[in-house]
Amino acid sequence: MFIKNRDHTEKVVLVVPISHTHYLVPPTGLGYLATALRQSGFNDITILDCVKERLSFSDLSDRFKMWKPQVVGFQVFSYDFDSVVRSIGILKKVCPEAVVIIGGAHVSATSMTVLDEIEEADYGFAGEGETGLPMLSKRILRDEIIPLENIPGLIWRNGSSVHNNARAGTDDLDSLGFQAWDLMPPISYDGSPQGGFYKRFPIAPISTTRGCPYLCTFCGSGVNMGHKLRLRSMNHVLDEMVMLYKDYGVREFHIIDDMFNFHKNRVIEFCQGVKDRNLDISYTFPNGLRLNQLDRESLQMMKDTGAYAFTVGIESGSQRILDSMKKTLTLECIEEKVNLINSVGLEPNGFFIIGYPGETIDDIKATIRFAKKLKLRRVHFSNFLPLPGTEATRKLIENEEIEKPDWGTLFYSKVAYAPRGITKEQLKRLQRRAFLEFYLRPHILFRMLLEIKSISQLRMIIMRAIDYLFRK
């Protein structure tokens, strides 16, 4: 497809779609894409975060009418699928010549079929888009002769057939630069990002790595970023933190890596760098740390330099289910490391999954008991999500337990799948039970209430609780 640029403008809009999620967090992926476009000479770029601005579809139409963008990129997670389809339809009505590009985790996982499902999208990107998006933008906006087949990660149509180009992922993460923070200033995210609780504000999420070498069957991280662990230099990470500290007043960092503590020497280098640069900050790890690679020395160093809470992926209180997930963890190791975190004076939080394939009601009850037994500050009981591209989902399809999931159900509080022998209604009741049994303990509830710092934070926490208890 070739679109002639008629008015010689180069307006690009990158969109976080309208969503029922309550997370308010700067869209780091779009921030990197904006920087990549700037590095190629594109300057008229807007990041439109519909969640932050609480936009309606009518509001979205008005923005498109006002801006008249030539290129619009949509970030797509599975649970936002219907919203993205509707938003693209609105865009095509008010700006019919705009070129629509889709990317993100859902597109990466469904690259063979996504352009058939989202028919009004013109292109897609699988995997990382920092290399390919500027190339495609040059072709669209500047009439540069760049063959579509030469653009890494591009999903494109050639007549009735759809082509998927080989993906690109740079090993030199420093070359990507810093995220375009001026397009998504941390101070404008006045809710409570990444997990509901925080100590200081403003907050900025940053990543220091990409990829995860582990093979957990339920996780979509490897589908999008690959299993090769790639590292930013620690000086580059710390330089970005210093810039955010000085220029944007950031006082808390949420490190969103999947594998921050894979290498102990990097943890030590990070802590020493924070100390050497005199950064008076708080930081936490909302996406999780690898439990079996935590040790007292690194925990103490992190605490001494501002760390206060660790979220860890526990997932189940059944060893049989942990083994089935390929977690490479034992219940004994989990308990030992949670106790270690507490002993250093840090706050451990836990991720759990309810309704994993092969689970029984007894397994789920064991998970609830285990969560209450562990000395955790907060927990997240997510229903199992058959995310596209994961090993667990592939096996379910192969065994004819599911067909293609309803994308809109792939949200932590909804029930998209129930194991054999358990109904979806039973599973939702068990999730409610887990939530209530953990949080309605006086010491947990009282401490949590004391940590609420703003009306917007309280609003988000209430909405998440409603999701857990009432959303089906």
Residues 205 and 137 in one domain: no
Whether 115 is in a domain gets the answer yes
Whether residue 472 is predicted with pLDDT greater than 90 in this model: the reply is no
Whether residue 280 is predicted with pLDDT greater than 50 in this model: the reply is yes
DSSP β-bridge partners for residue 157: 162
Whether 39 is in a domain gets the answer yes
Q: Which residue has the tokens 């969503």?
A: 19
Residues 140 and 215 in one domain: no
Residues 190 and 157 in one domain: no
Alpha helices in 248-380 (DSSP H): 264-276, 296-304, 319-325, 331-343, 361-373
Q: Which helix (H) or strand (E) holds 436?
A: helix 424-439
Alpha-carbon distance of 231 to 186, in angstroms, equals 24
Residues 208 and 137 in one domain: no
CA-to-CA dists, residue 106 to 31, 79, 81, 313, angstroms: 18, 9, 8, 22
Q: Which helix (H) or strand (E) holds 137?
A: helix 132-142
Cis peptide bond N-terminal to 202, omega within 30: yes
Whether residue 2 is predicted with pLDDT greater than 70 in this model: the reply is no
Count of domains for the chain: 2
pLDDT band per the 50, 70, 90 thresholds, residue 4: very low
Residues 449 and 406 in one domain: yes
DSSP β-bridge partners for residue 230: 210
Whether 3 is in a domain gets the answer no
Any idea which of 37-46, 332-341, 442-451 has the lowest mean pLDDT?
Answer: 442-451
The helix/strand/coil state of 254 is: strand
Whether 112 is in a domain gets the answer yes
Q: Which helix (H) or strand (E) holds 235?
A: helix 234-247
Whether 173 is in a domain gets the answer no
Residues 124 and 250 in one domain: no
User: Which residue segment(s) compose the domain that 252 sits in?
Assistant: 185-470
- For 125, the token pair is 């990107």
- Final residue belonging to a domain, choices 110, 135, 164: 164
Residues 370 and 466 in one domain: yes
CATH of the domain at 127: 3.40.50.280
pLDDT digits (tens, 9 = 90+) for 323-364: 999 999 999 999 999 999 999 999 999 999 999 999 999 999
Residues 198 and 94 in one domain: no
Residues 208 and 110 in one domain: no
- Residue 3: the pLDDT is 43
pLDDT digits (tens, 9 = 90+) for 371-395: 999 999 999 999 999 999 999 999 9
pLDDT digits (tens, 9 = 90+) for 201-243: 999 999 999 999 999 999 988 888 888 999 999 999 999 999 9
CATH of the domain at 246: 3.80.30.20
Alpha-carbon distance of 97 to 103, in angstroms, equals 19
Residues 377 and 343 in one domain: yes
Q: Which residue has the tokens 């970005």?
A: 240
Alpha-carbon distance of 451 to 192, in angstroms, equals 12
Q: DSSP state, 98?
A: P
- Residue 414: the pLDDT is 86
